[in-house]
Amino acid sequence: MSTVRVLIVEDDVVDRIACRRAFAQAPGFSCELLEAESGQEGLDIALREKPDCILLDYHLPDLTGLEFLARLAADQGEPQPTIPVMMLTGADSATVAAEAMRRGARDYMVKDSDGRYLDFLAGAIDRLLREQRLIDEKQQAERVLRQSQKELRELAAYQEKLKEHERTRIAQEIHDELGGLLTGIKAYISVAIERSGEQSDPLLNDAAKLAQDAIETVRRVITDLRPSVLDQLGIWPALEWYAEQVAQRSGLRCSCNITPAAMALELDAERSTMLFRVAQEALTNVVRHAEASEARLLVDRDGDNVVLRVEDDGKGIESAGLSDRESWGLFGMHERTRRLAGELNISGKAGQGTTLQLRLPLEDKNG
């Protein structure tokens, strides 16, 4: 049986003696009693000794019970006291008891004139401590869960950086190796066609066309992997260029409007990449799923945030699509956003299109 350390803050010595006797006579209850005659003395003992719980009388010579709760929470640097407190009130103090519970007291007992409350005091403290253990276990589980989520997000961010680095490397190798080979092949075919003059072999013309198609395919693959315009010219020209590419490839009317306030911003590489990838995924979803004829990409500045909106006039995404865990593209956009403390909202109505809005802080708010 473990010993419970109880601090009683009570200016009436008779009441303190009565509590001490009640604890000593309670079966199966082992108690070490700490005593304070004033609120300030109780606060000093609570911070120094860190008792398991506190029995607090409302009427103290220097503080009320409510003031004691507020001071204890402030001294602990918390919104409410972390040490469980049981308030001892008079028979006509239901309002005070309710206010004490709101301020952080875990329970209260009415001090009746006959002292019957003393018979239930040990059991009430035992119940209070069981509840505190449950609270502590829940808080510990929540801390472990938050730490796990933090580590998973850090891992995802690290993997995303590796993926972007690998995309850049592969795009460069394709450009240097495969792109160079195809360009050389087309050049040889062009020379062969020139030498053959008017009697050129149709097969050579077909081969030249195939080589050109292969070169265009390589350029498209490189663009999807890592558009060079993003690294060379920055995020805003990259978004305008990508909107043009989407329009050319899909036939979708796709416009890009970046306000002067946004254009004046210089985003770091991580934010630039995130903004581009979200816009890329959003427009890809429009082309594949929205059945739209028009898409609009809008960028503006709102205080310390850059705001990206992608709107379409398609069939509109439904709520089920927003919560579908198989929608990994949407899930990925949300994760990219969270890593930089951004907010991503997607809304849509059947037959009225879909709107994606990303609000991205210009400074890191995640610490």
- Residue in this structure with the two tokens 């043009």, named with its chain if needed: 244
CATH fold of 229-367 reads Heat Shock Protein 90 (3.30.565)
CATH 3.40.800.20 fits 4-115, yes or no: no
pLDDT at 181: 86
**Residue 32: pLDDT over 60:** yes
pLDDT at 1: 59
Q: Give the model confidence (pLDDT) of 173-216 as tens digits.
A: 887 888 888 888 888 888 887 777 766 677 878 888 888 888 88
**Residue 69: pLDDT over 90:** yes
Q: Quick count: other Cβ atoms within 10 Å of Cβ 4?
A: 19
* Cβ(358)–Cβ(346) below 8 Å: no
Predicted structure pTM score: 0.57
Q: Give the model confidence (pLDDT) of 218-259 as tens digits.
A: 888 877 777 778 888 899 999 999 999 899 888 899 999 999
pLDDT at 96: 81
247: Cα separation from own chain's centroid: 34
Give the domain ranges of the chain: 4-115, 229-367
